[in-house]
Structure 1
Amino acid sequence: MDVRAVVTAFSGAAPLPGLPDAWHWSPAPGIDFAGALSADGKRLLQLSGRDSYDEDLAVATLRFARKHEDEMVARNSFLGALEGFEPPTGRRFDAVVAVAPQVHRFYRAEKPELTEHVRLTYPAYACEFSGEESVDEAVTRYRMLGLTDLDRAPVPFLRMRFANTRTRGRSTNKGRGLTDPQRLLGELRAIEGGAGSFVEFENRHGTVWRVEWHGAWYLADWTTQNGAPREIGIEELIQFAVARLHE
């Protein structure tokens, strides 16, 4: 496929200032796309912004993705993130993520023949990815992150399981499942008063902690499932959990 010819034929496509072989187009008010040819010219590296497009950020992201595409894919072929990204002044992103066609399925309706030639590339945060995501987990994370909001805050990688003897709430997955950090903080508070209740959480490095309620909160490093628990206050526990997820 001649990717250049396809992209330049998009309605309103115009060269993206500051980056060769790159274009910007907007199919609707508030929705902006930017794309660049990969280094070998065989793929389109693309991002989009919904009510948040920033040309300088788009150029920096696509430039980084073009230079480091092989490294990103080597990290994880489905959802490959690479640290070391330096965004424009005022932005906090520290990584760029590459999303594979089998995960994003972009253009599947209007131009399905293009889908396999597109790798979505977005500014991101290193704490959001483990590098070990399966294709199913990559799809889940892609949907969770809200990547088209280019003003977004980090959504750290988190796997969790829990059981609350007071509310009878519990996770339904066999192991720890992907979830939002706000769910973790809510469940940590909710086990108060539930004898034998627990919450396990895992960060992107695969380190696991287990919190139990036995008249107070007790925290243990559970990576080897034999950590010695220590009593901890809820506010210290919340701060601890947030810090571990952002590592």
Structure 2
Amino acid sequence: MNFEESVAGVEGVEPLLGMRDAWRWSPMPRFVFSLALDIAHDSAYQMNTIDQFDHGLVTAVLEFARKNHLVGKVKYATPFTVAPGFTVESHGFDVVVAVPPAVHQYHFGRGNTLGERVTGVFPAYSCEFSGRETLEEAIHRFKRMIRPTVVGRPPVPYLRMRYENTRTGSGSVGAFRGFTTSDVLLRELALLKGAVDSFVEWENFRGELWHVTWDGSWHVNGATRNEPLSESAVLSTLGCPAA
């Protein structure tokens, strides 16, 4: 396909300043879409932003993706392709992530082949990805949790948890750990005191596991403690930089 012809047909499209073979357009208020050809000119990278368009960050991400030919590294079996070594001033991102059309679904339903040749890219934090996500999990994380279009976002750590609390009567469903957020983890740990035969268990992006119970004393991975884990200690287990 001819990318130049396909992009030229997009309403309001204009060159992305500072990059060759790159364009930007705003399909609706608040959103800006930016697209750049890969070095082979047979595929492209797209980064979408909402509310805040940071030109320096967007071009840095697209240039990084192009330089590292991320389209050639995307695999459907591991739908988040995480490329380390990314840095940019004024942001704490440390990786660029590439996702296939099955995850980003850009140009979906438009009746053209542009979306099939577009790899979605966005800046991110290494603590947000395990490399073990299924396609369904990647879609859920991409669309509902990470918010990749928000350039000023804090880290959203990879966090899977299961729990049961006999005092509150709440708990997770089944034996598998589900994705959640750090505020839910902190809340359930705070509610654990006084709940005998209860537990909170969580996993980070490295696959490291913590299991906490209370029976008058605190037990963390089988070791007895007089005091609960502090909030900072809990958050440090997730391996993300401080927000």
Same fold (TM over 0.5): yes
Q: Specify every segment of 5 or more residues in structure 2 that has no aligned partner in the other structure, as ranges.
A: none
- 1:211 aligns with 212
Matched, 1:243 2:205: no
- 1:128 aligns with 128
Residue 3 of structure 1: how far off its partner (Å):
2.4
- 1:184 aligns with 185
Sequence identity of aligned pairs in percent? 37
Tell me if the contact between 1:122 and 1:147 (Cα under 8 Å) persists in the aligned partners: yes
Higher mean C-alpha displacement, 132-141 vs 104-113:
104-113
For residues 66-113 of structure 1, give each alpha carbon's deviation from its aligned partner in whole angstroms, at most 9, with x where no partner exists.
Answer: 1220575269641111221011x2111111111111112221123453
Cα distance in structure 2, aligned partners of 1:218 and 1:238: 16
Opposite residue 47 of structure 2, the aligned amino acid is L
Q: Secondary structure at the match of 1:186?
A: helix
For residues 111-150 of structure 1, give each alpha carbon's deviation from its aligned partner in whole angstroms, at most 9, with x where no partner exists.
Answer: 4532221111001111100111111111111121111111
Q: Secondary structure at the match of 1:240?
A: helix
Opposite residue 151 of structure 2, the aligned amino acid is L
Q: Secondary structure at the match of 1:131?
A: coil
Cα distance in structure 1, aligned partners of 2:163 and 2:237: 18
Number of paired residues? 238
- 1:233 aligns with 227
Q: Secondary structure at the match of 1:206?
A: coil
Tell me if the contact between 2:76 and 2:135 (Cα under 8 Å) persists in the aligned partners: no
Tell me if the contact between 2:77 and 2:135 (Cα under 8 Å) persists in the aligned partners: no
Tell me if the contact between 1:72 and 1:81 (Cα under 8 Å) persists in the aligned partners: no
Cα distance in structure 2, aligned partners of 1:72 and 1:85: 16
Q: 1:10 to 1:70 in 2, by over 3 A?
A: closer
Tell me if the contact between 1:79 and 1:97 (Cα under 8 Å) persists in the aligned partners: yes
Tell me if the contact between 1:75 and 1:81 (Cα under 8 Å) persists in the aligned partners: no
Q: 1:72 to 1:129 in 2, by over 3 A?
A: farther
User: Normalization by structure 1: what TM-score?
Assistant: 0.90
Tell me if the contact between 1:103 and 1:142 (Cα under 8 Å) persists in the aligned partners: yes
